[in-house]
Structure 1
Amino acid sequence: MPAGDTGPSQPPLTTTLSNTPPSAPEATAANGKGRLRGILLMLTSGVSNQVGAATGALGFPGLGPAGVVAIRQAVAAIVMLAVVRPPMHKFTRRQWLPVLALAAIYATMNLTLYTAVHRIGLGLAVTLEFLGPLAVALAASRRRVDLICALVAGAAVFVLMRPQPTTDYLGIFFGLIAACCWAAYILLNRTLGTRLPSAQGAAAAAAVSAAGYLPIGGWILIQHTPAPKYLLYAVIAGLLASAVPYLFDLFTLRLVPAGFFGLFMSINPLLAAVVGWLILDQHLGPLEWIAITAVITANATSAITPTK
């Protein structure tokens, strides 16, 4: 799952022990410390997510994208089921329908993203995937500034897709499919939030998606017998790219507003490009860096511009 998903916002970790409200300076200091902790958690979550994705890419030679996704999904499901403990045996048909749809989105989104990473690199793949939530945000707005942001993001995609001998159109296609899946994931989570409390729907969907990948993972392990290091890479990817972001984001949304959280997510394409360079030795040209910067700027501008 992408970084930033925690389902509906959770209640605060602690409650006020006194009915006497804090003084203004005390409240300001507390809010400042909370936001600083939130920023550190978001930064850690983002780095963990991209390092996990890069580590998963190291497993491609032995497992392929599908094998890495199968193991990553299993790890994510184990962690989410342990933390959330959804009572799936009590789910009604009305609750199961969006859960199954979300499970299909999980399976498709992760596979297409990892296939894109395999073909065009981590930085460009994550940038294309990030167009999904950006499109959802812009589509719901009628502001002129958001139209400009959409045009900027569209120009950035054109730069990434510009015809040249080394252009991998199939990799770009998979990246755009991942973006569509992320957009659908956001919209579907709104439905799940009205039918199931907390993150029960997301945890159940992760479990169903992992179960669907079991035959694929089993077949790959039997046919190829990959070296243990590739299995370790996939497990680490599941922990760093799914478990850690999920838990950290769960706590972060108790410290910072959802809008600020969404704005901070804009740095993920940049983190992906840097991590892809450091871990996978994937180098980007000046135009690719400009396109990534444009997508980040478009989202940030749309998020910080006040609504009239």
Structure 2
Amino acid sequence: MTALGPAIWGTTYYVTTEHLPPDRPLLAALLRSLPAGLLLVAATRRLPRGDWWWRSLVLGALNIGAFLPLLFLAAYRLPGGVAATVGAVQPLVVAWLAVGLLGQRLTARVALAAVAGVAGVSLLVLRADAALDWLGVAAALGGAVVMALGTVLGKRWPAPAPLLATTGWQLVVGGVLLLPVTLAVEGLPTGVTAENAAGYAYLGLVGAALAYCLWFRGVRLLPATEVAFLGLLSPVVAAVVGWLALDQDLTAAQLAGAAIVLAALVAAQTGGGTSGADHRVRSGGIGRRARAGRSTATRA
């Protein structure tokens, strides 16, 4: 189920370039986050308590307020292949951060899988004639870093409230942070067509409310590194959408890249990523049950 989130995000580049107004990355990020967040908060009727006021601010700023405008800036200024290739470094960044913040080990298998993931994404979506815009490259790299930090901190801080509520908090925080910046830089939206409105609605309801709920659920249940590798599905889906909707060709090199990405994803899921803190939590529970079983057998 967690993999459905990145799969949905794989449609973002298509929707942004084909159905949204040009050169409005901040507006796209704002309309993707704030309405969806308000809808989830209204549905759950839950507000943060205690430490979760400032934790929601931090996570919302990282996962939404900083990540979304960087994502859309990269989408507008770079070919989709370049943006996806730069963003594919996120699993490696998560693995590094998890060493210090979660006590996980960075195994050789995970490191190699992360490098293979970047290579596979580059084969899948990168074109030889792709133009490099350094602001776009910086935005894509910055987006990968802030999302990685948000993923690791989300794992470090177990949420006390239902999933829909905590997802809504983060979306609202990100949207509120984006609102004044959007008005100052891009101004009020003008000339929004019905097609644009449908694109914004899709990104908000499906690309934010649904996809982020699935993603944050995965952060709760799975080791952070394994969750991050699932994000590699996004460029795979983006390539498939381009093939289906835009009549783009899929070459042998692209198919090989997709195979490498999927192999890297599987290797990371089976590569002992639950070492460290996550592993101690799980093994501790198993150990307690085993000791209890032995004690019962002895008494019998």
Per the TM superposition, whether the score is higher than 0.5 is yes
Aligned to 1:76: 36
Please say if 1:147 is aligned against 2:111.
yes
Range with greater deviation from structure 2 (216-225 or 293-302): 216-225
TM-score by length of 2: 0.68
Alpha-carbon distance in structure 1 between the residues aligned to 2:190 and 2:217 = 40
Q: CA deviation at 1:73?
A: 1.0
Q: Report 1:89-238 matches (<5 A).
A: 91-92=49-50, 94-105=51-62, 106-122=64-80, 124-137=82-95, 140-153=104-117, 155=119, 166-193=131-158, 196-199=160-163, 200-217=165-182, 220=186, 222=188, 224-238=190-204
Alpha-carbon distance in structure 2 between the residues aligned to 1:287 and 1:269 = 15
Q: CA deviation at 1:295?
A: 4.3
Secondary structure in structure 2 of the residue aligned to 1:222: coil
Alpha-carbon distance in structure 2 between the residues aligned to 1:178 and 1:141 = 24
Q: Is the 8 A contact 2:121 2:235 kept in 1?
A: no
TM-score by length of 1: 0.66
Q: 1:250 to 1:166 in 2, by over 3 A?
A: closer
Aligned to 1:9: none
Alpha-carbon distance in structure 2 between the residues aligned to 1:304 and 1:70 = 37
- Runs of at least 5 residues in structure 1 that lack an aligned partner in the other structure: 5-41
Q: 1:277 to 1:124 in 2, by over 3 A?
A: farther
2:238 to 266, 269, 272: 272
Alpha-carbon distance in structure 2 between the residues aligned to 1:62 and 1:162 = 22
Aligned to 2:271: 305
Aligned to 2:26: 66
Secondary structure in structure 1 of the residue aligned to 2:11: helix
> What is the aligned residue count?
262
Aligned to 2:15: 55
Q: Is the 8 A contact 1:56 1:237 kept in 2?
A: no
Alpha-carbon distance in structure 1 between the residues aligned to 2:138 and 2:250 = 19
Alpha-carbon distance in structure 2 between the residues aligned to 1:148 and 1:247 = 29
Deviations 1:74-102 (A, max 9, x none): 232123313443324xx33x332222112
Q: 1:67 to 1:265 in 2, by over 3 A?
A: closer
Q: Is the 8 A contact 1:113 1:178 kept in 2?
A: yes
Q: Is the 8 A contact 1:99 1:192 kept in 2?
A: no
Identity %: 21
Alpha-carbon distance in structure 2 between the residues aligned to 1:202 and 1:51 = 20
